[in-house]
Structure 1
Amino acid sequence: MKKIYHYIFYVLYRLAAKSSTIFPQDFVAYVCLIALTLWGFGSLINEHYVITNVRILPVRLEFKHLLLAVLPPVLFNWYIFLYDNKWRVIVQSIEEEAPEKKKKYIIIAWIIIIAILINYWVVSIYLLKWNYDKLMGI
């Protein structure tokens, strides 16, 4: 699991290298990883609500709810990748691995990234709209 998480960071890091941005590659990968984490948890929360009709988060979100949702992934990813520049060791160790092993893990990382994006932006939002239409009698 840890290795896959490192590879997801590595894929985002390499993707950031190909984009034009004023921010460093490691920071762009870090922010993208936080977004993926939040989208993954957000979609699971939405799907749980639609299936069970039980809210995990209150209807009206306050700053403290947002802080409690965002702060853990920010601190977790900061400690794993940015604290003491650990991302450099992670990227270097991945680049030194055998090409066939690296290719396999990169494909798995891309599958996870695409699955999270589809689950959040397609499935979860569709389910919320379906639930809204059902509640409104549309």
Structure 2
Amino acid sequence: MKIAIGNDHAGTDYKFAIVKYLASKGIEVSNYGTDETSSVDYPDFVHPVASDVENHKADFGILICGSANGVAMTANKHQGIRAGLSWTKEIAELTRAHNNANVLCIPARFTAVQQAIEIVDTFLNTEFEGGRHQNRVDKIPVSC
């Protein structure tokens, strides 16, 4: 499995912890996020992550910023991206199972680092249920 990860200044510590966790599981990670805590513009880090997922260079993307709203909005502008904001592992599970999300967006200011790792683990280990959910996902346009 290959993951593309990106973050702004609010998510730097979270990114480091998540990358370490993923590496311990043997998961390859492409890091597009800042490694600093000085203010940066999140779209600069979202676009490469979303591009990797939409071009099948990564299986999933993970984006981290303060609220995760900005990264989710930006990622969802890309064709074929279904970015879901998750602040609990239960929401991460539903985002995958019901919405077939391929990009996970984590709000660093509203989760703890360990909680974020659990969210990532749940997201990556949950399969899309298909069935009635597939009909709904099919109604999400890949472009307008």
Settle same-fold status: TM greater than 0.5.
no
TM-score of the aligned structures, taking structure 2 as reference length? 0.27
Q: Which has the higher strand share?
A: 2
More RCO (CA 8 Å, sep 6+): 1
Q: Which has the larger radius of gyration?
A: 1
Q: Which one has a larger percent helix, Structure 1 or Structure 2?
A: 1
